[in-house]
A and B are shown apart, each in its own frame.
Chain A
Amino acid sequence: MKGKITAIIVVIIFLIIVLPSTFYTVPMTQQVIITRFGKPVGKPVKTPGLHIKRPFVEKVIRFDKRILEWDGDPNQIPTKDKKYIWVNTYARWKITDPLKFYQSVRNEMGAQARLDDILDAATRDYITSHVLLEVVRNSNREMETAENELELAADIKAPIKWGRDKITRQILKKASKIVPQYGIELVDVRIKHINYVKEVRTKVYERMISERTRIAEKYRSEGQGKKAEIEGQMEKELQRITSEAYRKAQEIKGKADAHATVIYAEAYNNDPEFYSFIKTLETYKKSLTKNSWLIISTDNDFFKYLKNMKGK
């Protein structure tokens, strides 16, 4: 009885200790290598699920299988056209050969340090061998400006040959040649930030300000120009209106005068002699006034009776 129980207990204890050391699971996110007394054995295990190894003597070392981060420090790099910029890149990578990885860089920390060197160098190489515009722009898309007057400078309109995407592809390509020896594959490299260094920034701001001031000035003078134009148009319109009115008025008056003349002529032509008689009398009435002096001879028609009745 006693021996039986002891036997059962021994078996249970044995299982409790041995089982976990024999079976191990590989989660979806991991891959493992097996080492025997520190020496790697067999192929890395990448398939998830339950696996068996030799207990006690073999050890499981786990590595992430997923895409991992790498974020570079911002680097101050001059471009080919001697413009100093901050460039901050990021990359994504994964461990493709855990064994190589383990042997060459040991762990992720080691890999990050290696990637720092490789990617920083590749970035620097490609940035310095291109002008700023090539790094900033990505295509030869035609850019618009809000103020039509604002012409883009010729060096900015210059077509690019590379563009950011191609340059980052080059960086990726170059780095990808180096990293396999560490059991790493680079999935992606991108430029996250590009900014001017502080001193350049101030200058760029100054340029932007002067550009805007120029536009503002242009609007102001355009305003004045338009105002003058309207005023000129007004002046012209004014002259046209008054002169047209004058012309029409004179025409009307002239016509009326002519008409009147015809009327007079028609009437007076009946008897010019009588007309002049009547008109002369009327004129006398008007021109001889209180203050006139009248010296008349007695042989005047009016006074012919003054001397004698016969009037002779």
Chain B
Amino acid sequence: MQVFQWKKSGGSNPQVKKSWIIGIISGIFGIIILSTMFYQVDTDSVGVITRFGKYIDTTQPGLHVKVPLGIDKVVRVPVQRVQKEEFGFRTVKAGIQTEYIKGRDEDVSLMLTGDLNSAVVEWIVQYQIGNPVNYLYNIRNVRSIIRDASESVMRKVVGDRSVDEVIILSRREIAQESKDQLQDMLNSMGAGIHIVTLELKDVNPPDPVKPAFNEVNEAKQEMERMVNEAWESYNKIIPKAKGEAEKTIRQAEGYGLNRVNRARGDANKFLAIWKEYNRAKDVTKRRLYLEAMNEIYPQIEKKYIVDSSQKGLLQLLNLNEMGGKK
């Protein structure tokens, strides 16, 4: 319609008008062609090119040329970027003090263990797009298959382990096994996903059971405390007893030395006297006797000297006094 109008108004010089119109049209056309001919691929991505919907090429980061006018189409796939899925919790705000919402996803995190107990398992999966063509064309919602498969695999792995293994003993093995199985599962569907890590986060007994698990820890510590206390008193008493035993032995040795020395002293003294005595037996004997008596008699207060012919002496004695002395 516009073409008609222009033609009528520019009737005086149709030749000039025509070339002007052609110029504008071809200019617009050129801009459209140019703008759809070049495309850029960012450093963390690759470009997947389709011609009339059919895949023809994957291009690396940089500036590229394609067939314009929507004949070639480019989809940029961020193959370098590591993406993360969280299971059983959700990061609200990542940062130095990352905030999480917990316990909301109980359906995801609460699972049965192989001994038919329950455990709350939280984990993350980090992945990259390993094969952009598979990623784009094989599965419609890749993120949802990653989530579903992760949950299924984690349950399967946990389902073959006791609650103790899940919570305490074999966290690493669980993560490794789940990662391997998840990768296999995704590969079998051609998801084009490379699992970077699968990491267990908090693994706990269900809340109502937690105090009981803590009680076990407390009891363990209590046991250790009791044993320590017992050893403590053992270590306090035994060395002391050993010291005392040593003392007893030393005392006995002292006693022994004392006895032997005394015996030697007595014996030597006797031998010395005896040697002298042998030289003048009679005199020495008398001297010793008299000296002894000399010592004894003055000390005794009550002395009765009785003539050898006197008999019945006892009658004279005041026995009461004797008895009274007692």
Interface residues of A (CB under 8 A from B): 25-30, 47-50, 64-69, 71, 74, 88, 90, 92, 132-133, 136-139, 141, 143-147, 150, 152-153, 156, 164-165, 187-188, 190-196, 201, 204-205, 207-209, 211-213, 215-220, 222-224, 226-227, 230-231, 233-234, 237-238, 241-242, 244-246, 248-253, 255-257, 259-261, 263-264, 266-268, 270-271, 274-275, 277-278, 281-282, 284-285, 288-299, 301-303, 306-307
Contacts and interface: CB of A to CB of B under 8 A. Distances in A.
B69 interface: no
Contacts of A274: 274, 277, 285
B308 to A, nearest CB: 4
Contacts of A164: 156, 159
B152 A275 contact: no
A245 B244 contact: yes
A237 B115 contact: no
B238 A241 contact: yes
A277 B285 contact: yes
Contact of A278 (B257, B270, B301, B317): B270
A201 B317 CA distance: 110
B155 interface: yes
Interface of B: 50-55, 107-108, 110-118, 136-141, 144-145, 148-149, 151-152, 155-156, 159-165, 167-170, 185, 188-189, 205-206, 208-209, 211-213, 215-216, 218-220, 222-227, 229-231, 233-234, 237-238, 241-242, 244-246, 248-249, 251-253, 255-260, 262-264, 266-268, 270-271, 273-274, 277, 285, 288-290, 292-293, 295-297, 299-308, 310, 313, 317, 322, 325
Contacts of A194: 111-112, 155, 159
B93 to A, nearest CB: 28
Contacts of B151: 192-193
B252 A248 contact: yes
Q: Which of B148, B188, B242, B301 has the most CB of A within 10 A?
A: B148
B301 A290 contact: yes
Contacts of B233: 231, 234
Given A192-B148, A234-B238, A252 B245 contact: no
Contacts of A190: 148-149, 152
B300 A147 contact: no
